[in-house]
Amino acid sequence: MHKLVCSPHGQGPAVPRLEQAQRIPIKVGEFEFVVERTCDLDTLWDQLGQGEFGDDERIPYWAELWPAAVGMARWLCSHADALRGRAVLEAGCGLGLSAVTAATLGARMVCFDYEPEAVRHARRNLSVNGVEAAAVVMDWRRPSVAPGAFDLALGADILYEKRFVAPLAGLFAHALAPGGRVWLAEPEREVSNPAMYRFLDLGFSHRRLHFEKISLQGKNMGIHIIELTRKGV
């Protein structure tokens, strides 16, 4: 297992629960997964206080299953050979579908999120689907994984703010072994194209590998799979 040291975080604010846990069945390739959640974005949004809109903007997007997570899971299933036996890190794991998929395909998986409640849900979903992986609380601005520990990094719909690009570039540069790659599943948004060029400035090349339209629970998005590699490494 990777050497992983996680910075301590608080337990986070009390989270209003659904009366009954919602189980969302997801078919990905030959697999049938279940994503379970005990809260939803609309309810959490109604409970947000002004303190949640500071510099960190702790908006609970993690509570939804987004099309990009399904797009990433499908991509992983079609590239199982790139995962089997590899050390894989996922940034912003949310409910954990990408981590579940990668672990099912044989990756040595570590996933993280900034929000403790997201990590609790990811751990639950790993358990529900019968796979093992480390799910931890971590701030990508202050990575607490060993340098060069991972062959591949993943992120599904994590570039929805321009300010995320620089710390993510720092995380990937720190966490990836020489020759390591990043796979991002990103919706078509105005913020995402400039982000790719910002990665170029920060030492990464990029290429678009795949595109598909995904419909999920009333959300319809075009999802790009983008690969980043560090230039000159």
Which tokens is 92 given? 């912003």
The number of C-alpha atoms within 13 Å of 67 and in the hemisphere containing its C-beta is 18
pLDDT digits (tens, 9 = 90+) for 30-76: 999 999 988 765 555 456 544 444 455 667 788 889 999 999 999 99
Q: Mind listing the pLDDT tens digit for each residue in 151-198?
A: 999 999 999 889 999 999 999 999 999 999 999 999 988 777 788 889
Contact at 8 Å (CB) between 83 and 106? yes
- Residue at 127 is within a domain: yes
| Predicted pLDDT of residue 80 | 97
pLDDT-above-70 percentage for the chain: 83
- The predicted model gives 141-149 an average pLDDT of 97
User: Quick check: is 167 in a domain?
Assistant: yes
Residue 131: inside a domain, yes or no? Answer: yes
The residue ranges of DSSP E strands in the chain, in sequence order, are 22-28, 31-37, 87-91, 108-113, 134-137, 150-156, 176-187, 204-216, 219-230
Task: Please report where in the chains the tokens 């339209």 appear, as a residue.
Answer: 213
Do residues 141 and 112 lie in contact, with contact meaning Cβ atoms separated by under 8 Å? Answer: no
Whether 22 maps to a domain, the answer reads no
The reply to whether 2 falls in a domain is: no
* Domain-located, residue 214: yes
Q: Which stretch of DSSP H or E encloses residue 176?
A: strand 176-187
